[in-house]
Structure 1
Amino acid sequence: MSSAGACVRPKLWYVIEDIWVDPAVTALRPDFAVLVMGVYGLRNGPTDDRSRAWLAGAADSAVSAEDPKVEAWREAYRAFGAKPQRTRPSVDALVRRMPLPEINLVVDAYNAISVRHGLPIGGEDLAHYEGTARLIRATGEEPFEVVEKGEPGIDHPEIGEVVWRDDRGATCRRWNWRQCVRTRITEETVDALFLLERLAPMSLEELRAAGDELVESLKIVTPGIRVESRLIAHG
């Protein structure tokens, strides 16, 4: 068939059923679970009065840095050799940073939910994702794209560090500490992958409730989005 007649599969065909967590990670924390959500057809934009209200409400109802759900993440970091006082879990960093920063509609939505529930939430732009997301213990060779002092560069995780990655390299270091610049959510993001990560004592019911809240917020941003979700839990 000529290229003119070929059928090109659209980018939104991202298969969340293929996402996986390495057993070496669950060996560290058998209580780990992640709710993965593919959201397609977003019309993102800059922070507005709606998302400012979400951020303000979250500041009033956020968990504290001493909440057991936040401490569980510090314990998880110590389990793979990280020092959570130096590189904090994302939710720990957010609850210490009030008021929450204004980023864009989608990021504002999930940051607000993150601090209210005390769970890390990551967002990935699928237009810049390559292959399947997986959570692994790093070899140390995975490229991690950064910007330092305004200049693009490449960093690498430490051997044994817990990282999210795709076929191109690490997309988030130290479980949920820092996202690479390549896959971050911007105002141009249309199709996105969200990763809602849970450790005990958070219940799976609360994890699902946080996912439902995120969907409702994203539907306010963009009515008519298509959503797929899947819970990955040990055992």
Structure 2
Amino acid sequence: MIEAIWVDEAVTELRPDFRVLAVGAYGLRGGPSDDRSRAWLAEAAEAAVPPSHENIAAWQDAYRSFGAKPQRTRPSVDALVRRVPPPEINLVVDAYNAVSVRHVLPIGGEDLAHYEGTARLVRATGDEPFDAMDKGEIVVDHPEIGEVVWRDDRGVTCRRWNWRQCVRTRLTETTTDALFLLERLAPMSMDELSAAGDELIARLREITPGVRVESRLVGPV
């Protein structure tokens, strides 16, 4: 799966410094939030930076580059640090949200059982379907033309780079195979990105000691 992930040149032209560390985890045995994941979230909250942090400012600039307003639709890490400790979701989501806050970078998680085809980061044509939750009901929405989105063969999996994930591929307590996307912009260093990936993998192995993990850095050479 992760060998085929790609970033479109139209996105690279917006931010040549963009890199994504893709982590595939296979054979997860997750579950509901517990004392262990609550401790991860609490530790992350203690280390949380203010929304003015340079990593968050870089993502706000990236949103403006394709016409989004980051004060209205915030980059995921921006939204997380504004509501620390992060909300409890489930073991696996708590793990990557804690890493996101601690290392100040957006992280997305996808359930591969509901994924179709290759993950790719592109600029939207505007007609791609995106299933979202509205007042407790699933509705089909569409991105704006030129919006930066993650997608698969079926439609958009995450709008506005890392703002909101679709319902279809979100991680649940029963997810066994997952894809994690750790997204980096300068001034975050590549060593910092690698450290975030190592911490996430350690958390996944704590959740499931026998989990099989692979990773790959995706971006311009």
TM range (shorter): over 0.9
Is 1:23 the counterpart of 2:21? The answer is no
C-alpha distance in 1, partners of 2:87/2:138? 23
Specify the alignment match of 1:129 in structure 2.
Answer: 115
2:76 touches 2:162 (CA, 8 Å); kept in 1?
A: yes
1:192 aligned counterpart, secondary structure: strand
C-alpha distance in 1, partners of 2:173/2:85? 21
Q: 2:190 aligns with which of 179, 204, 207?
A: 204
Specify the alignment match of 2:67 in structure 1.
Answer: 81
- CA displacement, residues 141-176 of structure 1 (integer Å, 9 cap, x when unaligned): 100001211111100000000000000000000000
Q: 1:222 aligns with which of 194, 205, 208?
A: 208
Specify the alignment match of 1:144 in structure 2.
Answer: 130
Specify the alignment match of 2:95 in structure 1.
Answer: 109
C-alpha distance in 2, partners of 1:29/1:231? 16
C-alpha distance in 1, partners of 2:30/2:77? 23
Is 1:184 the counterpart of 2:150? The answer is no
Specify the alignment match of 2:26 in structure 1.
Answer: 40
Give the alignment's TM-score, normalised by structure 2.
0.99
1:147 aligned counterpart, secondary structure: strand
Deviation of 1:62 after TM superposition, in Å, equals 1.3
1:63 touches 1:117 (CA, 8 Å); kept in 2?
A: no
Deviation of 1:233 after TM superposition, in Å, equals 2.4
Within a 5 Å distance, the mapping from 1:164-175 to structure 2 comes to 164-175=150-161
Q: Aligned-pair RMSD on alpha carbons?
A: 0.6
C-alpha distance in 2, partners of 1:206/1:158? 32
Q: Which runs of 5+ in 2 are unaligned?
A: none
Task: Determine which structure has more spread, i.e. the larger CA radius of gyration.
Answer: 1
Q: 4+ residue runs of structure 1 moved beyond 3 angstroms?
A: none
- CA displacement, residues 161-205 of structure 1 (integer Å, 9 cap, x when unaligned): 000000000000000000000000000100000000000000011
Specify the alignment match of 1:4 in structure 2.
Answer: none
